[in-house]
Structure 1
Amino acid sequence: MQYKSLKEYGAIGDGNTVALVGRDGSIDWCPLPHVESPSVFAALLDADRGGRFTVQPTGTYESAQRYRDRTNILETTFQTGSGAATVTDFMPVAEVAESGDQPPAVYRKVDCEDGPLEFDVEFEPRFDYARDIPEIEPTPDGVVAAGSDEQAILSSDLPLTPSADGHGVNATATLEGGETRWLVLGYDEAIPLKPSQHQETLAAVTDYWRKWAHDCDGTECPVDDRWHDLAVRSSLVLKLLIHRETGAVCAAPTTSLPEDLGGVRNWDYRYNWIRDAAFTVRALSELGHLEEARSYFELCLDHCRHHDPAALPPVYGLHGGGDLEEQVLDHLEGYCGSAPVRIGNSAREQHQLDVYGELVLAIYESVRYGEPVTADDWTVMCDLIDYVCDGWDEPDASIWETRDDPRQYVYSKVMCWAALDRGIKLANAADAVPAPSERWKTCREDIREAILERGWSESANSFVRSFGDDDALDAANLLVPVVGLLPPNDDRVQGTIDATIDRLATDDGLVYRYHGDDGLPGKASPFTVCSFWLVTALALSGRIDEAIGRFESVLKRTNPLGLLAEAVDPETGEQRGNFPQAYSHVGLLNSALYLSDADGSSDASPAPLGTDGAAGIDSSTEIVRQPNDNE
């Protein structure tokens, strides 16, 4: 069987998990009950063995997908020679579930607008990444698929009978114009078939998403009209990827989608990376999603509370667990034959110095938006920043999690500088709390001098990937002006931007991550978030026309639903890597915010992230919350 392009998928979810639904009406990926759980459908990773749940017209058809306006409810429309129909896919979020203890569920509503139209239903669940093939048995309202220790129950008012081999359902039914049918999949528990109640649930879910989605409502909006709808869609994607119980942001809901077809750069991204923190907090806060930003802020503090700073992992399970042992699933062929298929992620064991800056930046940003820390948390933060003073000059694996020997990566040092800089700013604003400010200031200057002396290459006229490199570039250094190490108009910032455009960027606006070996064979595709970093650096520099041109070029890479993967194939333009990718959508949102801050003149200069030019941190800001008598 063939594999679909990522442009043919939409995503639905409930705050616990995410499913990918193809334009052909097939659910090809769905882990249950959580996004980091084993898959129930995984045709995305093995078209023959992975399992799927398909609802589509019999024979030839044309199809298209759209989201119901300002929601994560997906509508797939089908047109045939005899009729037309729409399949509406959604998951009820806990706030509007039909019962408080409802199990995870996927609802599929089939509306036949013009008939007669014959539909095929294919239901082939394959538990535990297709290692457990269930037995299918009929029930009064459908079928139950029973595995060794889990089950999926499909209820429907369409006629469903098990296939001859007992491992699936292959059914056909004809709908007349005006008819509606339901298929409701419950995990471990059945969802009773009640069409009128399901319709009420759909209305409630629609209302939930529309109330959550950013809406300017006639007020001043932080995002320009040109990019407003894509920004709203990106925020809705982020909401799908935010775990409802913990506030953790899932980097992507998939595993092992390759950066390069046939290559081995296939990773499991169903976890929370600290590197996403500061930019996610800013994007959510600017769009008014303060509850989600607050939850992520608390999660960042929790990381600080429960780990020795010297052993801070860069990635966590969405429930906070640390067992991310990397395994290879040899029985799955991989997307388009791109093996290996991996679960778990050994980046958990890496030492990455950039995470300290990203954590402190996230906390600083949260304080800017009105979330003070407690006195106890301030003490923990001081310990973290003190560790940066002791360990900033160690080699590490970098933001890109290279799998060769550790190096003195320049971006890692930049983020160590940022940790100290924001710690000093918080301490200065909260003069009632103790902090070794003089030590921090001395170390901050030492790091800055090291970056400027050892991380800058005169021959490349750019910051380079690691100390001692002459010409190997790293797109992460585009963030130097964003975090405020140097002002955007500094010649070294401009040189780095120009060198990146000349040597890491493609003609149509895409940007590769870096030059040089990383311990892995094969090649990587241009990384989507790096393309947005270039846009942001240009916007901060006042090079607005260039920034807009590159931004709009990258936006053309979104799929028809406005979704972005991790990377883009430079030759075909196809999206590559895990999908949809939180980091890509966070990059889109922040680029849109920075561009919208600019006035369009040649000397426009929006404020870098959390610097003194940005509103928020001053003597009136509550930095450290004092406990009241009830605490």
Structure 2
Amino acid sequence: MNGSRVSDLELGVIGNCTFAALIDRDASIVWCCLPRYDGDPVFHSLLGAPKEMEDGGFFAVELEDQVHSEQKYCGNTAILETVLHGKQGSVRVTDFAPRFFWRDRLYHPQMIVRRLTPVSGTPRIRIRVRPRFDYGSTMPSLTFGSHHIRFVGPHTILRLTTNAPIDYVRDETVFNLSRPVDFVLGPDETLSEGIAQTARSFEERTRDYWRHWVHRLAIPFEWQSAVIRAAITLKLCTYETTGAIVAALTTSIPEAPGTQRNWDYRYCWVRDAYFVVRALNRLAAMHKMEDYFDWLMNVVASASGAHIQPVYGVGLEAELTERIVTSLPGYRGIGPVRVGNQAYQHFQHDSYGNVILGVAQAFLDKRLLSPPTRMDFLRLEDIGRQALSCYDKPDAGMWELRSRARVHTTSSLMCWAAADRLARIADHIGEPERARDWRVEADKIRQVILERAWSEKRGAFVESLDGEYLDAGVLLMAEVGFLAPDDPRMVSTLRQVEAVLGRGPHMMRYEAADDFGEPKTAFTTCSFWRIDALARMGRREEARDYFEALLAQRNRLGLMSEDIDVETGEAWGNYPQTYSMVGIINCAMRLSRSWEKAI
């Protein structure tokens, strides 16, 4: 029998934009939080299990005498197929979370459907369903029916409905899989139709939904499969109920072993979300921008002109108190396991620019069904005034330093972007005087950055005003239009950043040590920023080579986490990382040959 222990991030993702689950190469569900992304992980074996309790936190399909497995997504969908091969036969496991339109509304229940089909021989399997509650510390009580098992926790009841022999499932008995069987795990509700009929119908409808969604994407000619998988993954990281976008689906996957850099990323950073929305906009996935606009304008309205946090809960929760969970040992036993994120208390002044960048296109795009109003613009002006008040003040920066504050160049840059975009929006909506005022303010910030962030000694823009260290974040100057890519200062900055922070196709985040010392792994987003900068500067062949090298670092399903060990190529950090998946889309769109030239 295959085990349920996870040793790497070769994980598939299924979901339906209300929740998600991670499935390992042997078809074991090892991570699933309910009732939403930041909820209790009812399946948590990705982070281990409590020592004092029986092994649990997974939903495993175990094949007797398993030899190897194969795993892939059904083309252009979020439906995952795993084939387990053994000496006596093979079985295909099809996993998905239902998502489709039904009765003129979107149907996306908190439900996992697993369909098992014998492929060859007579496979002998064992089903082990062991959810736990309260981060693994509480075992459920079980009740049974003729075709279901109820897992009753303190706050949650899960029902597993199946046409497999219920005794075999309940007792974890090995049995011959002589015919297809189905499992539906979800709320404590009776299915309205038969189990097989429900599973088959839901699979067909979910497949159709995803293929139609992908059909509408404006993808590049080259690297189509990589872009499609990245787009689907980004969509799976959106919480459609409110429009929020999580940075990743997991908590506490360390950035590198033994570093204490274990964070909870199951929340919405306005910085990360801006990049996600921008990437999906480039693919013409406009609906996400409208959803995120609604979520973000709620943030703006709630702030009432006061401080904007860098991160919020998916339900607009402002307080994300960080605590350490002692019941779970952590990924590969590497703790701590954290819930919540102290970053909500930080002052990260780039947040103001990221808010306005995240909604700016909505004011200019005539395709939107519910375009922004003048009142929305006036509320954004409050955010802009906050940016004007703090662009030259110390903060924690985009890398969220916990014990050191500086006037970070990227924070000042994004404050400039806030004023610059407000000027553009004002001009577009017929407010010339406001546009003129915001342009004056933007020019003032720009001059300060040019004078104080440039280091003659380093021949580069540095990480803080009047500072001395290099930081890959300054490459965003070209991204947001602060300087032309061929400006000699940008060319020199890229050259210096590459020399100091480059590791082959990879890039480290920054040069100076932080709260935990010097970073030990490359930050994948920075590697993509470098590729984008190279392409903008005309070094396209180098950019393409680095891009291909990074694509080779994806796992077998085309997904990426946050960090990469430059020596081994091993993935670290929370998973899947939206920042990383954004990089795939942006670089493919920039580097691909055009359809006209390809045909």
Does TM, normalized by the shorter one, top 0.5?
yes
Aligned to 1:482: 479
Alignment map for 1:69-468 (pairs within 5 Å):
69-93=75-99, 95-96=101-102, 104-161=110-167, 169-176=171-178, 179-191=179-191, 194-215=195-216, 221-225=218-222, 227-370=223-366, 371=368, 372-432=371-431, 435=434, 437-468=435-466
> Shift of residue 56 of structure 1?
2.4
TM-score, normalisation: structure 2: 0.93
Q: Distance in 2 between matches of 1:519 and 1:417?
A: 28
Contact 2:220/2:595 (CA < 8 Å) preserved in 1?
no
Q: Which amino acid counterpart does residue 57 of structure 2 have in structure 1? A: G
Give the deviation of 1:188 after TM superposition. 3.6
Structure 1 CA distance, aligned partners of 2:474 and 2:406? 15
> Following TM superposition, by how much is the alpha carbon of 1:102 offset from its aligned partner in structure 2, in angstroms?
8.1
Conserved 8 A contact 1:420-1:444: yes
The aligned counterpart of 1:34 is 36
The equivalent position to 1:496 in structure 2, one of 493, 496, 510, is 493
Letter in 1 for 2:96: F
Map of 1:541-580 to 2, 5 A cutoff?
Answer: 541-580=537-576
| Inter-partner Cα distance in structure 1 for 2:48 and 2:307 | 37
Indicate conservation of the 8 Å contact 2:562/2:573, yes or no.
Answer: yes
8 Å CA contact 1:285, 1:369 repeated in 2: no
**Aligned mates of 2:596, 2:549 — CA distance in 1:** 18
85-94 or 337-346, which moves further after superposition?
Answer: 85-94
Mean Cα deviation higher: 526-535 or 294-303? 294-303
Deviation at 1:542, TM superposition (A): 1.1
AA at the equivalent of 2:491: Q
Between 295-304 and 395-404, report the one with greater CA deviation: 295-304
- Residue deviations 1:11-66 (CA, integer Å, cap 9, x gap): 00121111001111110101112111111010000156551110121123210110
Query: Residue 25 of structure 1: SS of its match in structure 2?
Result: coil
Q: CA deviation at 1:596?
A: 3.2
Structure 1 residues 540 and 309, CA gap change in structure 2 (3 angstroms): farther
Q: Secondary structure at the match of 2:62?
A: strand
Distance in 2 between the 1:295 and 1:350 partners?
Answer: 26
Amino acid at match of 1:204: R
Aligned mates of 2:564, 2:339 — CA distance in 1: 23
Alignment equivalent of 2:45, drawn from 40, 43, 46: 43
Asked whether the equivalents of residues 423 and 437 of structure 2 are also in contact (C-alpha less than 8 Å), the reply is no
Q: Which residue is equivalent to 2:503? A: 506
Alpha-carbon shift at residue 521 of structure 1 (Å): 4.9
Distance 1:368 1:540 in 2: 24
Query: Contact 1:528–1:566 at 8 Å: present in 2 too?
Result: yes
Identity across the alignment (%): 35
Q: 1:559 Cα deviation (Å)?
A: 0.7
Is the Cα–Cα contact under 8 Å of residues 110 and 187 in structure 2 kept in the other structure? Answer: yes
Does the CA-based 8 Å contact 1:84-1:113 persist in structure 2? yes
- How far does residue 222 in structure 1 lie from its aligned partner after superposition? 4.8
| Distance in structure 2 (CA, Å) of the matches to 1:202 and 1:429 | 45
Amino acid at match of 1:430: I
Match of residue 615 from structure 1:
none
**1:20 paired residue number:** 22
Does the aligned pair in 2 maintain the 1:5–1:574 contact within 8 Å?
no
Q: CA deviation at 1:522?
A: 6.7
Q: Which runs of 5+ in 1 are unaligned?
A: 602-631
Tell me, in whole angstroms, the C-alpha distance in 1 between the residues paired with 2:230 and 2:364: 23
Q: CA deviation at 1:322?
A: 1.7
Q: Is the 8 A contact 1:120 1:172 kept in 2?
A: yes
CA distance, structure 2, for counterparts of residue 338 and residue 600 of structure 1: 50
Assess if the C-alpha contact under 8 Å between 1:535 and 1:551 holds in 2: yes
> How far off its partner does 1:387 sit?
2.1
Query: Alpha carbons of 1:99 and 1:600: their partners in 2 closer, same or farther (altered >3 Å)?
Result: closer
User: Could you tell me which amino acid in structure 2 is paired with residue 396 of structure 1?
Assistant: D
Aligned mates of 1:106, 1:547 — CA distance in 2: 40
After superposition, the Cα gap between the structure-2 partners of 1:150 and 1:162, relative to the gap in structure 1 and judged at 3 Å, is: farther
Against the structure 1 CA distance between its residues 120 and 162, is the aligned structure 2 distance closer, same or farther, given a 3 Å change threshold? closer
How far off is 1:421 after superposition? 1.1
Counterparts in 2 of 1:593 and 1:197: CA distance versus 1, 3 Å: same
Instruction: Check 1:101–1:86 CA distance in 2 against 1; reply closer, same or farther (3 A cut).
Output: closer
The answer for the alignment partner of 1:517 in structure 2 is 513
State the alpha-carbon separation in 2 of the partners of residues 311 and 188 from structure 1: 42
| Runs (4+) off by over 6 Å | 97-102, 597-601
Q: Is the 8 A contact 1:277 1:359 kept in 2?
A: no
Please report the RMSD computed on the Cα atoms of aligned residues, expressed in angstroms.
2.4
Distance (whole Å) between structure 2 residues aligned to residue 600 and residue 402 of structure 1: 46
SS in 2 for 1:296: helix
Deviates more, 1:383-392 or 1:26-35: 383-392
Change (3 A) 1:169 1:257: farther
**TM-score, normalising length from structure 1?**
0.88
Cα separation, partners in 2 of 1:99 and 1:278, compared to 1, 3 Å: closer
Q: CA deviation at 1:267?
A: 0.8
In the TM superposition, what whole-angstrom CA distance separates every residue of 1:429-484 from its partner, at most 9, and x where no partner exists?
3334762x4443333222212212211112221111112322x1111111111111
State the Cα distance separating 1:345 from its structure 2 match.
Answer: 0.8
Indicate which of 532, 537, 553 corresponds to 1:536: 532
Judging changes above 3 Å, is the alpha-carbon distance between structure 1 residues 567 and 309 closer, same or farther for their aligned structure 2 residues? Answer: farther
CA contact (8 A) 1:184 1:191 kept: no
Amino acid of the structure 2 residue aligned with 1:296 = Y
Residue 582 of structure 1 aligns to which amino acid in structure 2? T
2:473 is aligned with what amino acid? A
Q: How far is the alpha carbon of 1:250 from its aligned partner? A: 1.2
1:83-140 Cα shifts (integer Å, max 9, x gaps): 2221000111263599998852111100102121101111111012112111223321
Q: Is the 8 A contact 1:159 1:171 kept in 2?
A: no
Q: Which moved more, 1:483-492 or 1:272-281?
A: 272-281
Distance 2:419 2:182 in 1: 56
Alpha-carbon contact 2:168-2:174 (below 8 Å) kept: no
Deviations 1:199-220 (A, max 9, x none): 011101110111111456xxxx
